Amino acid sequence: MKKFLVAGLGNIGFEYANTRHNIGFMVLDYLAEKAGVTFTVGRLGAVAEYRHKGRTFVLLKPSTYMNLSGKAIHYWLEKENIPLENLLVITDDINLEFGTLRIKPKGSDGGHNGLKNIQAIVGSTEYPRLRFGIGGDFRKGGQVDYVLGEWTQEERTALPERLQKCMEAIQSFGTAGLGNTMTAYNGK
């Protein structure tokens, strides 16, 4: 059975639960709830296993905090014997309008500390990622407060539909492949 590691980036702790920076955790929580699977605390993160159309998805919410996500991802890739091309990292992106999805086969860290750490630890930028647009509506110097801030009421209302799209994109990544998924979901 083909296996995939889907790592949603975020920060553990109640104070981060509903923040923009935690969209990776939110996507995986949504998927797990819809699939009827639960997370268990494992080494370096919370993990759930989800099967869909003959594929196994290992869902990972690293407990290492955002900036050290690479350690957890590297551990679970090795433990589950999953190749780097079957990794999908879900992260927030301030350079995309709220709710816009951008799936890429590789890329730079774009100034994102979580991606920077993954690159340093796995030794490559060649792994797929799903970037979720959180918008960039903040004053100069206000980036940290914005990213670690909670969603607006308007964003909260739109989130369920966006989370559903992310779930569909993850399933497509595992079943239809990266190229088809990029065509179907990028910019949507």
Distance CA 87, CA 90 (A): 10
Instruction: Assess whether 74 carries a catalytic annotation.
Output: no
CATH number at residue 53: 3.40.50.1470
Give the count of domains, the chain.
1
Residue 144: its pLDDT value, please? 84
Rounded to 10 deg, the angle between the 153-175 and 23-35 helix axes is 70
Burial, 118: exposed, middle or buried (Cβ in 10 Å; 0-12, 13-18, 19+)? Answer: buried
Amino acid present at 188: K
pLDDT digits (tens, 9 = 90+) for 74-102: 999 999 999 999 999 999 999 999 999 99
Residue 112: its pLDDT value, please? 87
Which one is catalytic: 21, 52, 74, 112? 21
| Average pLDDT over all residues of the chain | 94
Residue 54: its pLDDT value, please? 95
Residue 66: its pLDDT value, please? 87
Q: What is the pTM of this model?
A: 0.95
* Domain region containing 109: 2-185
Element (H, E) at 138: none
Ranges of residues in the chain whose predicted pLDDT is under 50: none
